[in-house]
Amino acid sequence: MRSKKNGRKMSKSNKKKGIIAFILASIVFSVFFYGLYLLGKINYIPIDEENLGLSEEAPEDKKVTNILLFGLDNRVEGQRSRSDTIMIATLDSRENKIKLTSLMRDTYVSIPGREDNRINAAYAFGGPELAIRTVNHNYHMNIEKYVTVDFFSLERVINALGGVEIDVKDYEVKALNSGIRNLNNLHKDDKDSPLIEGPGMHSLDGRQAVAYARIRKVGNGDFERTDRQRTVLKSLIGKAASLNPLEAHNLLSTLLPEVETNLSKAEIIKLGYVALKSAKNPVEELRLPYEGTYEHRRIRGMAVLVPNLERNRQILHDFIFGS
């Protein structure tokens, strides 16, 4: 009798385990296929990867992936304009690190097929393809992938993550509020974002954070503005790293339609895994031109930074790939 009872108990136990396993498998498959559905919403814009000016002098490391991030300075949604923000995002899967390198927008460089100009003009002249080629040509890099956002899309991405925590300095308050007013005027059909009452730690919404990242007429000008841009991005990386799977899927549903990229679905899945692991570690930062490696000059009426490119190339390569 005992053996029959034990057999029935084991049978019930096995059935429960089978039901649990089926439920878990269903959840996994649902999450997987929902993830594929979200990836189908990517604003995928391919470019001619044979025309990116890949440099034979660039260091090679299959464990390191570099992606160019562009933030467009446009006043009309969808308009092509100069790249207000140019940043190299590095994913180092060997060291599980994320590195951010800001390229100053007023850096005076050679733009292939064009007259020498500020580096931020390349995007307006030829979109992401020419902008990537310009970076590769001047800094001897082999970057092939990019992600582009504008004021409008970045605001929505930041809001999807619940805003960012920023320590606003006393000398930034007036300029920040001026930027918020300007952006409110661009979004006349939306609810206005409130002004900041004073310095200190603030939880900035998307519009306020975009205005903060654009401040450049106080402090150390555009040099300090690149610091603010990296501060906002680091805060976003930190928030994304703490998301649970459901929150991550909700974020993807908002983020993917907002960015323009030539990253494929497979590349996003692969790099997303590396990024989530790496986001738990401190983000490393660099700004180019590096201090002491450039001259302030005025060329054709433009105030520009003329870099010592040889020194800046070496600094960049050492930072990304190791000395």
pLDDT of 52: 92
| pTM (2 d.p.) | 0.84
Instruction: Give yes or no for residue 223 having a pLDDT over 80.
Output: yes
Percentage of residues in the chain with pLDDT exceeding 90?
53
C-alpha to C-alpha distance for 87 and 104, rounded to whole angstroms: 9
C-alpha to C-alpha distance for 300 and 149, rounded to whole angstroms: 30
pLDDT of 308: 98
C-alpha to C-alpha distance for 62 and 263, rounded to whole angstroms: 17
Percentage of residues in the chain with pLDDT exceeding 70?
81
Residue 100 φ/ψ, nearest 5 degrees: -120, 125
pLDDT band at residue 82 under the 50/70/90 scheme = confident
pLDDT of 75: 57
Element (H, E) at 84: strand 83-92
C-alpha to C-alpha distance for 83 and 75, rounded to whole angstroms: 12
Tokens of 9: 């108990």
pLDDT of 6: 56
pLDDT band at residue 24 under the 50/70/90 scheme = very low
Say which range, 227-231, 261-265, 288-292, has the weakest mean pLDDT: 261-265
Whole-number average pLDDT of the chain: 84
C-alpha to C-alpha distance for 277 and 272, rounded to whole angstroms: 9
pLDDT of 242: 79
pLDDT of 25: 43
C-alpha to C-alpha distance for 128 and 81, rounded to whole angstroms: 11
- pLDDT tens-digit readout, 276-303: 888 889 999 999 999 999 999 999 999 9
Instruction: Give yes or no for residue 124 having a pLDDT over 50.
Output: yes
DSSP conformational letter for 107: B
pLDDT of 26: 40
Residue 301 φ/ψ, nearest 5 degrees: 80, 0
- Do residues 87 and 102 touch, judged by C-beta distance below 8 A? yes
Question: What is the sign, positive or negative, of the torsion defined by CA atoms of 24, 275, 161, 249?
Answer: negative
